[in-house]
Amino acid sequence: MTKSMRIPKILILGMGGTIAGIASHPELDPLNYEAGRISIQQLLGGIVQKDAYHLKTEQIANINSCDLTHELLTRLVNRVREALVDEDVDGIVITHGTDTMEETGIFLHLTCAALCRGSQKIIVLTGAMLPSNAPGADGPSNLALSIQVASKMSTQSNGILMQSGVIGVFAGRIIAAKDFAKRSSDQIDAPVKDSPELTNSIMSRLLSEEDLSYPELGQSWPWVEIVTNHVDPKPDVLEFLKNQGVSGVILAGTGQGNIHQNLLPVIKEFSQRGIPVLRCSRTGLGVIRHNVSFNDDELGTLAAGSLTSAKARIALELLIYNRLIGKSLDFKKKLATM
């Protein structure tokens, strides 16, 4: 059998979530369910044409993704990176809950994209908005398309040259996994509603030159918290975080990442102490640019670009960790590539 005829070998890693959920009364109330109840192997029972692939399944976790931890992220990325250099694996699919899918998407992009380039493999992140036993459950179709994409056999890639990278598949759409963002609690396409379509230009930008390091199991992650700007905020929360030794802060600002004047004196103190403060927007959409609508140079803040507050937190944790282990990083330049 020639290489072109070889049956693709796809590793499917389960993290739980709605896709593995079970509703008590699926016909009457499908959104009242318990996440992470069935295994990856059980999920594959609803996949058509699964015999066209060699599928191997592993259960990393089976949780409601609102309970995702740093430890589970480390366990997941360790297994993914092992698979990327395994000649017996052609592609990787990860099933995941939608609540924190955007965090895992940016995390895998920042820690695996360069290794994807070297291995010429695709990592696909997917999930579902309906539990597995709901009428019209979306998990099987999302998983089926994910397997196609991971094997580079997708017929729905709209002319995209599927080479390598960390990809997201949901509701029939193929996107960059770093562009997942759940902006609805119940719509069937919630994680991809506002995500840009994958293009060859976006695909080329998914191939990083160098992956960021991450804390290994048993190591502590930098402490980064999210603080939201709103009407008449008190500086007490920022004061508390500063005094307790926080490593960094994400400011989910109003509009274009604007920050109330009540908070500015404390933010200046953060800068003076070398504690990074990253501005994003609580709107969840749009691009926050350096020194636009806010004087970053004066306050020592950083602009998060298109990152949501949740993604910005993961990114800043990794940036701080890499600086702590001695890597020379320009946070501003690195953020501009995300």
* 168: number of Cβ within 10 Å: 31
Q: Which residues contact 197 (CB under 8 A, 6 or more apart)?
A: 158, 173, 175
Which pLDDT value is given to residue 1? 42
Q: What is the dihedral of CA 182, 164, 197, 129, to 10 degrees?
A: -30
**CA atoms within 13 A of residue 7's CA, in its CB half-sphere:** 9
Which pLDDT value is given to residue 96? 98
Which pLDDT value is given to residue 160? 62
| In contact, 282 and 253? CB cutoff 8 Å | yes
Closest CA relative to residue 42, chosen from 126, 127, 140, 169: 140
Which pLDDT value is given to residue 5? 67
Closest CA relative to residue 15, chosen from 105, 114, 132, 94: 94
The domains located in the chain, with CATH, are 3-204 (3.40.50.1170), 224-336 (3.40.50.40)
User: What DSSP element (H or E) covers 79?
Assistant: helix 70-84
Q: 198: which DSSP letter?
A: P
Indicate the burial class of 135 (C-beta count within 10 angstroms; 0-12, 13-18, 19 or more): exposed
| In contact, 331 and 322? CB cutoff 8 Å | no
Distance CA 263, CA 229 (A): 9
Which pLDDT value is given to residue 51? 75
Q: Which residues contact 17 (CB under 8 A, 6 or more apart)?
A: 35, 36, 63, 64, 65, 95, 96, 97, 98, 99, 127, 128
Distance CA 21, CA 64 (A): 9
| Pairing assessment for the beta strands 165-170 and 173-176 based on DSSP bridges | antiparallel
Distance CA 173, CA 23 (A): 25
- pLDDT tens track of the chain, all 338 residues? 444 568 999 999 999 999 999 999 999 999 899 999 999 999 998 776 767 899 999 999 999 999 999 999 999 999 999 999 999 999 999 999 999 999 999 999 999 999 998 999 999 999 999 999 999 999 999 999 999 999 987 655 555 666 789 999 999 999 999 999 999 999 999 999 999 888 777 777 777 779 999 999 999 999 999 999 999 999 999 999 999 999 999 999 999 999 999 999 999 999 999 999 999 999 989 999 999 988 999 999 999 999 999 999 999 999 999 999 999 999 998 998 88
Which pLDDT value is given to residue 244? 96
Distance CA 216, CA 218 (A): 6
Sort residue 286 into left (φ over 0), alpha (ψ -120 to 50) or beta.
Answer: left
